[in-house]
Amino acid sequence: MMLSLFDQFMSPTLLGIPLLAIALSLPWVLYPKPSNRWLNNRLLTLQGWFINRFTQQILQPLSLGGHKWALLLTSLMLFLITLNMLGLLPYTFTPTTQLSLNMAFAVPLWLATVIIGARNQPTHALAHLLPEGTPTPLIPVLIIIETISLFIRPLALGVRLTANLTAGHLLIQLIATAAFVLLPLMPAVALLTAILLFLLTLLEVAVAMIQAYVFVLLLSLYLQENV
């Protein structure tokens, strides 16, 4: 039973070839490219409005140096939202439930923010490891704690995204299985379970978007500390 529950999180293969690369390349095919015409269609207008609003929201607290990351952060946001939303469709695979993939996103971007801070303002970057006014006996302990918290950041980014999506998918599968089992035995209870499943699916749609936003938002906050 436990194996069947977690089978959905295994990377699918076809003739021994992993299909993860196809799942990762699919979001770039779905979005329409802006046209050179004077009048765009409604989908392109909505897409442009969303990108502009998100870029303003993320880059507003950043200095001008952090605005260079606008294209990267916006692209990452759209990419994660699309992967998370496509994973809610039946008979699909969600790549962002793999911790290795999320860590591959989190570690290089977090490391880039740390390197930027160490290169541009090394004194300010090292000052984060020791709060002002710390008593002398606590200095070694606080430096160790702040260093550990610094290196835990990418792990927290990856685990947060993986855990939220995995828990949601498992809960949907459990409630859907319960609804099918209860249908011939107790139809009224099965109907209530199906309603709960519908509400949970709507919640998972919101979670898929919110978790992608939180991932990029935390990256922008790390960038704000080092720019």
User: Shortest CA distance to 215 belongs to which of 20, 50, 54, 34?
Assistant: 54
Mean pLDDT, rounded, for 85-104: 86
Q: pLDDT digits over 51-66, tens only?
A: 888 888 888 877 777 7
- What is the Cα–Cα distance from 43 to 76, expressed in whole angstroms? 20
Query: What is the DSSP code string of 177-219?
Result: HHHHHHTTT-HHHHHHHHHHHHHHHHHHHHHHHHHHHHHHHHH
- The answer to whether residue 195 is domain-embedded is yes
The reported pLDDT for the residue numbered 39 is: 61
Q: How confident is the model at residue 8 (pLDDT cuts 50, 70, 90)?
A: low
pLDDT at 3 over 70: no
- The answer to whether residue 149 is domain-embedded is yes
Q: pLDDT digits over 164-190, tens only?
A: 998 888 888 889 888 888 888 888 988
Mean pLDDT, rounded, for 85-98: 84
- What is the Cα–Cα distance from 78 to 50, expressed in whole angstroms? 10
H or E element: which one contains 136?
none
- The answer to whether residue 7 is domain-embedded is no
The reported pLDDT for the residue numbered 146 is: 85
Host domain of residue 104: 19-226
H or E element: which one contains 34?
none
H or E element: which one contains 18?
strand 17-18
Q: How many domains in the chain?
A: 1
Q: pLDDT digits over 183-215, tens only?
A: 888 889 889 999 999 999 999 999 999 999 999
- The answer to whether residue 14 is domain-embedded is no
Q: pLDDT digits over 36-90, tens only?
A: 665 667 777 888 888 888 888 888 877 777 788 888 888 898 899 999 988 888 8
- The answer to whether residue 38 is domain-embedded is yes
Return the axis-axis angle of helices 139-182 and 187-226, rounded to nearest 10°. 160
Residues 6+ apart with CB under 8 A from 172: 197, 200, 201, 204
35 vs 163 pLDDT, higher one: 163
Helices (H), the chain: 2-6, 20-30, 42-59, 70-86, 99-120, 122-127, 139-182, 187-226
Q: How confident is the model at residue 103 (pLDDT cuts 50, 70, 90)?
A: very high
- The answer to whether residue 1 is domain-embedded is no
Q: How confident is the model at residue 1 (pLDDT cuts 50, 70, 90)?
A: very low
pTM of the model: 0.83
The reported pLDDT for the residue numbered 211 is: 93
The least confident of 95-104, 133-142, 151-160, 192-201 is: 133-142
The reported pLDDT for the residue numbered 156 is: 92
* CA distances from residue 192 to 45, 168, 188 in whole angstroms, order as listed: 40, 19, 6
- The answer to whether residue 71 is domain-embedded is yes
- The answer to whether residue 2 is domain-embedded is no
